[in-house]
Chain A
Amino acid sequence: MTLHLDRRHFLGLAGATAAAAALAACGGPSTSGGGQATSQAADIDFSGVKPAAKIDFWSSHPGQSQDVEKSLIEKFQAKNPGIAVNLVTAGANYEEIAQKFQTAQAAKSGLPGVVVLSDVWWFRYYTNGSIIPVDSLTKQLNMKMDDFQQSLVNDYKYDGKQWALPYGRSTPLFYYNKDHFAAAGIPDRAPKTWQEFGEWAPKLKASSGAQYAYIYPALAGYAGWTLQNMLWGWGGGWSNQWDITCDSAESVAALQWAQDSIYKDKWAGVSSKEAADDFSAGLTSTTISSTGSLLGILKSAKFNVGVGFLPGGPKAQSNVCPTGGAGLGIPSGITKEEQLAAGMFLDFVTQPESTAEFSAATGYMPIRKSADMTAVLAKTPQIKTAMDQLAVTKVQDNARVFLPGADQEMAKAAAKILTQQGDVKSTMTDLKSTLQGIYDRDVKPKLKS
Chain B
Amino acid sequence: MTRQLAPHPNAKPKRPPGHPAKVPRRRWTARSRRDFLVFLAMALPNLVLIAVFTYRPLFSNMYYSTLDWTLGSPTATVVGFSNYVTFFTSNDAPKVLGTTAVFTVVTVGGSMVLGLLVALALNAKVRGTTFARSAVFAPYVLSGVGVGLVWLFIFDPGYGVLAWLLRGLGQQSPQWINDPQLSLVMVILVYVWKNLGYCAVVYLAGLQSLPQDVMEAASLDGANGFRRFVSISLPLLSPTTFFLLITTMLSSLQAFDLIRIMTPLGTGTSTLIYEAYLQAFGAYNRAGYSAAISVVLFAILLVITVLQLRFVERKVHYS
Stretch from B10-18, B220-228, B301-309 at the A interface: B301-309
Set B67, B74, B273: member contacting A129, Cβ < 8 A = B74
Q: Do B54 and A21 have beta carbons less than 8 Å apart?
A: yes
**Size of the chain A interface, CB-CB below 8 angstroms:** 69
- The answer, yes or no, to whether B247 is at the interface (CB within 8 Å) is yes
Q: Do A28 and B1 have beta carbons less than 8 Å apart?
A: no
Which A residues are CB-close (under 8 A) to B294? 22-23, 25-26
Q: Do A24 and B61 have beta carbons less than 8 Å apart?
A: yes
A26–B61 alpha-carbon span in the complex (Å): 7
What is the distance, in angstroms, from A165's C-beta to the closest C-beta of chain B?
21
Instruction: Tell me the nearest residue of chain B to A216, going by C-beta.
Output: B178
Q: Do B3 and A1 have beta carbons less than 8 Å apart?
A: yes
What is the distance, in angstroms, from A7's C-beta to the closest C-beta of chain B?
8
Interface SS majority for chain B: helix
A46–B282 alpha-carbon span in the complex (Å): 35
Instruction: Tell me the nearest residue of chain B to A281, going by C-beta.
Output: B159
Q: Do B281 and A99 have beta carbons less than 8 Å apart?
A: yes
Which A residues are CB-close (under 8 A) to B35? 1
A129–B71 alpha-carbon span in the complex (Å): 11
B216-247: which have CB < 8 Å to A?
239, 243, 246-247
A30–B72 alpha-carbon span in the complex (Å): 10
Quick one: which of B76, B158, B254 has the most chain A CB within 10 A?
Answer: B158
Q: Do B305 and A15 have beta carbons less than 8 Å apart?
A: yes
- The answer, yes or no, to whether B190 is at the interface (CB within 8 Å) is no
Set B71, B158, B251, B313: member contacting A211, Cβ < 8 A = B158
Residues of A within 8 A of B (CB): 1-5, 7-9, 11-12, 14-26, 28-37, 95, 99, 101-103, 105-106, 120, 124-125, 127-130, 211, 219-220, 270-273, 278, 281, 283, 404-408, 411-412, 415, 418-420, 442
Instruction: Tell me the nearest residue of chain A to B157, going by C-beta.
Output: A272
Residues of B within 8 A of A (CB): 1-5, 31-32, 35-36, 39, 50, 53-55, 57-58, 60-62, 64, 67, 69-78, 152, 156-159, 175-180, 239, 243, 246-247, 250-251, 253-254, 264-265, 267, 273, 276-278, 280-287, 290-291, 294-295, 297-298, 301-302, 304-306, 308-309, 313
Contacts A/B (CB < 8 Å), 9 sampled: A2-B4, A11-B305, A31-B67, A36-B70, A105-B72, A128-B74, A278-B159, A408-B284, A442-B70
Set B50, B71, B157, B265: member contacting A220, Cβ < 8 A = B265
Which A residues are CB-close (under 8 A) to B64? 26, 31
What is the distance, in angstroms, from A427's C-beta to the closest C-beta of chain B?
13
A400–B302 alpha-carbon span in the complex (Å): 39
Q: Do A36 and B1 have beta carbons less than 8 Å apart?
A: no
Instruction: Tell me the nearest residue of chain B to A124, going by C-beta.
Output: B285
Known contacts A106-B287, A420-B180; can you find 4 more A-B pairs with CB under 8 A? A25-B57, A26-B294, A124-B285, A128-B70
Instruction: Tell me the nearest residue of chain B to A30, going by C-beta.
Output: B74
A9–B32 alpha-carbon span in the complex (Å): 23
A17–B298 alpha-carbon span in the complex (Å): 10
Once A8-B309, A33-B77, A220-B265 are accepted as A-B contacts, the answer to whether A272 and B156 lie under 8 Å apart by CB is yes
Once A17-B54, A22-B273, A272-B178 are accepted as A-B contacts, the answer to whether A31 and B5 lie under 8 Å apart by CB is no
Which B residues are CB-close (under 8 A) to A18? 250-251, 254, 301
When A and B form their complex, which 5 residue pairs have the shortest distance between CB atoms, in order from nearest? A15-B305, A19-B301, A405-B284, A102-B72, A105-B72
A7–B312 alpha-carbon span in the complex (Å): 14
Q: Do B70 and A1 have beta carbons less than 8 Å apart?
A: no
Q: Do B278 and A408 have beta carbons less than 8 Å apart?
A: yes
A138–B313 alpha-carbon span in the complex (Å): 70
Q: Do A12 and B295 have beta carbons less than 8 Å apart?
A: no
Set A36, A103, A408: member contacting B76, Cβ < 8 A = A36
Which B residues are CB-close (under 8 A) to A35? 75, 77
